[in-house]
Amino acid sequence: MPELLPQKSNTNQEQKAQAKFGLFASNSLLKQLTSMAVNLLFPPRCAGCGQIDTYWCGACQHEIAEMRLSEPIEPKYPLQGVTATAQHIGKIREAVQALKYGNVPELAKPLGEKLSTCLKQQDWIIDMIVPVPLHTKRLAERGYNQAQLLAEQVASIMGIGCQANALDRIRETQSQVTISGAERLENIKDAFVANSQFVNGRSILVIDDVYTTGSTMSACGEALHSAGATTVYGLTVTAAGHSITHKKEIVDEYHHSRA
């Protein structure tokens, strides 16, 4: 097994030189020590309540399991159905924010469980799960696409295939959190293209973290239909845009979370 092959050993001379300069520790050992030191200095904390030594505690998971959407979301063309697991408030909002801006990819697991529970309650027939793609620029900044992590969790729990390359962003868009509803639609229109090789003749579930005005979901739906998808549904962790959160709150929250 090639991955188990020992790394090329250093010559005695190199080892002596490294020992002399305190560089004898291997890179992986150094990484482990650094990560242990970081964990000691900054232990993980629950994103919901601050409890130490966990990214998300059982009590917070229990609390979000009880949270619901206050009113159904009317699906926008061309989606057949859209829902979110809860309003964008309280503990679940904390979890979404930490996943999105706090560099805590671990939160995709509990949120993926919440998404799966919600999906089981729909009468949707799904062939494939597809995450909303992230800008390449933002992907580089964040290191991961939170929608993809969520989609992969749901796919694994539900036993449905997930295809992260089914949708592509074909142009950069302005950050959706800083602009109004009408501007959002214009901003996101034609931003996506779908790969017919993956989606043609299939019923697709698009997964994202937050549902705001629905313009991102609609744009994904149009791209998927153009590539031959038969039906498109949308599912997000929270819904922020309809009725409870207006633009200023979203912008405030965005700046707060970036601070």
Residues interacting with Zn ion, by CB under 5 A? 46, 48-49, 51, 57, 60
**Residue with Cβ nearer Zn ion (105 or 161):** 105
**Residue with Cβ nearer Zn ion (46 or 204):** 46
**Residue with Cβ nearer Zn ion (61 or 173):** 61
The total of other beta-carbon atoms located within 10 Å of residue 38's CB is: 10
The C-alpha atoms of residue 165 and residue 159 are separated, in whole angstroms, by 18
- Output the smallest distance, CB 135 to Zn ion, in A: 31
The total of other beta-carbon atoms located within 10 Å of residue 80's CB is: 14
- Output the smallest distance, CB 154 to Zn ion, in A: 22
Phi (first) and psi of residue 236, to 5 degrees: -130, 165
Q: Residue 256: in which H helix or E strand, if any?
A: helix 247-258
- Output the smallest distance, CB 236 to Zn ion, in A: 22
Could you list the beta-strand ranges (E) of the chain.
81-87, 128-131, 161-162, 167-169, 192-194, 203-211, 231-239
- Output the smallest distance, CB 64 to Zn ion, in A: 10
**Residue with Cβ nearer Zn ion (114 or 169):** 114
- Output the smallest distance, CB 194 to Zn ion, in A: 38
Q: Reduced to 3 states, what is the DSSP secondary structure of residue 188? A: helix
Question: CB-based burial of residue 182 (10 Å sphere; 0-12 exposed, 13-18 middle, 19+ buried)?
Answer: exposed
**Residue with Cβ nearer Zn ion (54 or 195):** 54
- Output the smallest distance, CB 200 to Zn ion, in A: 43
Q: Reduced to 3 states, what is the DSSP secondary structure of residue 67? A: coil
Q: Which two tokens stand for residue 148?
A: 């993809």
**Residue with Cβ nearer Zn ion (58 or 72):** 58
**Residue with Cβ nearer Zn ion (46 or 199):** 46
CA proximity to 172, closest of 129, 212, 139: 139
Given a contact cutoff of 8 angstroms between Cβ atoms, the answer to whether 131 and 207 are in contact is yes
- Output the smallest distance, CB 255 to Zn ion, in A: 24
